[in-house]
Amino acid sequence: MTLNPPPPAQPVLDTDHVLDVRAIPCASKHGLIIGQWLNLPVGGHFILLNRHDPVPLRHQFAAQWPGAFTWEHLVNEPEQCRIKITKLKAAAPPAQVIECGGGH
């Protein structure tokens, strides 16, 4: 029997600009995603790969950085959600990051 190696403990932005956060604990996931986005150049993007649609994170982006990003669902299925997040203009770090809850 062959075992698959565990997923990486930290998110890695691969050559296709995919940020896979499926293995990241919920308590730190939003901060990592926001940090990745803040570090993008204006016009840059990444594709967020998650197990579910991160609706609370989308609301946090909308409240904190209106007009500074686009949020495009590429795949939204059970157990797999891919969202292209693009940085449209410079943005300051948030005063507070609201992490996910409810077991996501």
Tell me whether strands 18-20 and 45-50 are parallel, antiparallel or unpaired. parallel
Helices (H), the chain: 26-38, 55-64
pLDDT at 83 (0 to 100): 97
pLDDT block averages, 10 residues each, the chain of length 104:
46 78 89 93 96 94 96 94 97 77 48
pLDDT at 11 (0 to 100): 54
Q: Please report the domains of the chain, with CATH numbers, ordered by start residue.
A: 18-87 (3.30.110.40)
| Partners of 46 in beta bridges | 85
pLDDT at 90 (0 to 100): 95
pLDDT at 15 (0 to 100): 72
Phi-psi category of residue 16: left, alpha or beta, with phi > 0 → left and psi -120 to 50 → alpha: alpha
pLDDT at 7 (0 to 100): 45
